[in-house]
A and B are shown apart, each in its own frame.
Chain A
Amino acid sequence: MTAVSIKDLGWKYSGRKHFAIEHVDLEIPENSFVSVVGPNEHGKTTLVSCIKGLIPNSFHGVWRGQVEIFGQDVRKMSTERLAADIGFVFADPEAQFTSMTVEEELVFGLENIGLPLNEIQERLNWVCDLTMIGNLLDKSPYEISGGQKQRVAIASVLAMRPRIIILDEPTSMLDPLGKDNIFQILTNIKKDTDLLVIVVEHNIEQIAPLSDLMVLMYDGNIAKAASPAEFFENSDFLLQHGIIPPQATTFVDRLKQQKLYDGTLPVGLEDAIDITSRVLRNHSTPKN
């Protein structure tokens, strides 16, 4: 079933001359993992804000086209319905904290969508296990590390068990260990839930292996939308559009250019090692 349907979408922020995004068409199936990539200021955040309904509800500007969430026009959905169906994790976790303790932060959204107290407690326990933050409940969200803050931000959205979760550059403010933690949580989400996950991310190396669909935003348009293997087929095109393919993909692409390999490109290191082993086996000279 199609979860998100975008038809000829355009948005121009109030006071700007040009449309931030224009003529965007995209169909996203449910229960999939989508990464939105591209250089800064090319419309990634605007696109996901339109899916969440933050645009046009919280911004002034000119809207064109249509965004449907499970067949319903996003502009006609209530705040409560949007909150229940679509979770949104911002790049700066501190920007989204609204409470004085982690526990309150996690239950805030659950209270807003009207869950009974026993279910709030049950979801709180579940999300603490999933995101490994059970020991932070009584702390202030401002007094924990950057990685913990982002885990709390993700947990507060996951706890609402939305049908779609959008993460806007969730690792942009984290150290390498913090980034790894977030990607581990994203892996857990993909494995343990049936959510549609949409991630805006610059870390191609780590996001590509998780993705079912990769969307390249460039100059306010979708320059390419394909499965990871297909997405990285034309590395020159990607480099021209500000995307550096994963090293594993680039390596196997070189093998392909030298006619040593003729299959689909991998996005993860494991697959690249596997392909390389096969290439070496096929081309090794038998000993006497």
Chain B
Amino acid sequence: MDQALPVASTATTRRMRKTLLGTVPVSSPLYQLHPVTRFITLVFLGVVSLFIDVPEINILLIVMVFIYLHWAKVDMSNLKIYLPLTITVAIFMFTVSIGFPSRLPGYHTFQFLGITFYFESLYWTFASYWRLMAMLIGTIQYFSTNRERETLVAIRTLKAPFVITYFFSLALRSAGMFLEDMRTIREAERARGLDETSLALRDRAKLYVMYMIPLFTLAIRRTDEISNALYARGYTPSGKLENGVHRSDYILTKYPIRRIDIIVISAMIITFITVIILRVQFGIFAVAQSPLRIFLLSLWS
């Protein structure tokens, strides 16, 4: 069943499902895939990029993620909020690379605005940036299209120990409550006349440190309450009953694994193994094989 939120669009009113980082139409074809398939997509995009140095391939992966999001009918305009993050990461990485470059013998150099640039060092940063972006966009796509419940279903399907899945569930819950408590405390302070904008940076820092006292007190109280609630409802960390039998898992029955899931997961596993073999055994996907790099170096000669 879907959490349906009516959202007015320009053409029609669509039923939307709230995800961890956004909303997705209930009618999205994405939901034909089992949560475990979507979760493996996250892992695949996060890990496969580690074996690929060629930036063109990582850019291609990012393009594929955007095609996937378009197919899933995700509102791409929401992704604009991540643009400052991508720019900040780029500024940080390239500043470090230009300021503190690797200066190995044989590196190609050029001068610009009185600064010496080392091409190989700069290009490695460029390749690393796109690798990082592929991982980041892969993560954003997952959290933009999935809910907490689907993540839990995925890790339970992968037979993670019950206590770990439950710990994860409570961590997701506590993160939300922590932020909500912080919002309440800040509103209470503003209601009593506190104007944060008039504070110096040091005073603002002190204010945030002071938030920790009520927040941790509340967190300890909540821990106590949730512990009692779990006990009252018969929770045992092992997930086993007195007779040693495992507790049943009702929610998993709501998500059957279909043929399409087997095909998609198999394709990702085969691709992943192929990439590892090609990278480790044959050195393919190394940065030296980047067509752009080869082209730029040809300009030197």
Contact = CB atoms under 8 A, between A and B. Distances in A.
Contacts of A158: none
A98 interface: yes
A107 B242 contact: no
Nearest to A119: B248
B287 interface: no
A108 interface: yes
A79 B149 contact: no
Interface string B99-118: 00000000000000000000
B247 A111 contact: yes
B247 A54 contact: no
Given A82-B234, A98-B233, A110 B225 contact: no
A57 interface: yes
Contacts of B235: 79, 98, 108, 112
Nearest to B153: A104
A78 B229 CA distance: 15
A54 B251 contact: no
B195 interface: no
Contact of B251 (A81, A107, A114): A107
9 nearest A-B residue pairs (beta carbon) = A83-B234, A112-B234, A95-B225, A96-B229, A109-B233, A100-B148, A88-B232, A114-B241, A107-B250
Interface stretch (A134-142, A188-196, A234-242, A279-287): A134-142
Name the interface size band of chain A. Answer: 35 or more
A103 B1 contact: yes
Contact of A139 (B3, B176, B231, B236): B3
A113 interface: yes
Given A80-B236, A95-B226, A96-B233, 15 more contacts: A58-B228, A58-B231, A78-B242, A83-B234, A90-B228, A99-B169, A100-B149, A103-B251, A109-B233, A111-B250, A112-B236, A114-B248, A117-B253, A120-B248, A138-B4
A82 B242 CA distance: 12
B154 to A, nearest CB: 13
Contact of A98 (B1, B148, B229, B241): B229
A75 to B, nearest CB: 14
Interface string A141-181: 01000000000000011001000000000000000000000
Contacts of A81: 242
A100 B228 contact: no
Contact of B2 (A58, A88, A110, A138): A138
